[in-house]
Homo-oligomer: A and B are copies of this chain.
Amino acid sequence: MPELRKDPVLGRWVIISTERAKRPKDFKFEPEEKRVNPQECPFCPGNESATPPEIYAIRNNGTSPNTPGWSLRVIPNKFPALRIEGDLNRKGEGIYDKMNGIGAHEVIIETNEHQYDLADLPEEMVYNLVDTYKKRIVDLKKDSRLRYVMIFKNFGAIAGASLEHSHSQLIATPIIPKRVIEEMDGAKRYFEYRDRCIFCDIIAQETKTSKRMVSENNGFIAICPFAPRFPFEIWILPRHHISNFEDTDENSLHELARILKDCLLRLKKALNTPPYNFIIHTTPITLKGIEFYHYHIEIIPVLTRIAGFEWGTGFYINPTAPEESAAYLKNII
Residues of A participating in the B interface, judged by any CB pair closer than 8 Å: 1-6, 8, 10-13, 15-20, 79-83, 86, 93-101, 148, 150, 152-154, 158-161, 169, 171, 173-175, 177-180, 182, 198, 201-202, 205, 209, 226-227, 277-281, 298, 300, 305-309, 311-315, 317
A279–B315 alpha-carbon span in the complex (Å): 14
Cβ contacts under 8 Å, A278 to chain B: 308
A73–B311 alpha-carbon span in the complex (Å): 25
A202–B306 alpha-carbon span in the complex (Å): 28
B12 touches A178 (CB 8 A): yes
A108–B201 alpha-carbon span in the complex (Å): 44
Chain B CB count within 10 A is highest, among A1, A94, A201, A311, for A311
**Distance in Å from the Cβ of A130 to the closest Cβ of chain B?**
15
**Also in contact, A4 and B277, with CB within 8 A (given A160-B305, A313-B180):** no
**Distance in Å from the Cβ of A177 to the closest Cβ of chain B?**
3
A205–B94 alpha-carbon span in the complex (Å): 7
Q: Select from chain B the residue with minimum beta-carbon distance to A150.
A: B312
A95 touches B2 (CB 8 A): no
A-B contact pairs, 13 of them (CB 8 A): A1-B101, A2-B100, A4-B99, A8-B95, A12-B178, A13-B178, A81-B317, A94-B209, A153-B308, A158-B305, A161-B307, A171-B313, A179-B312
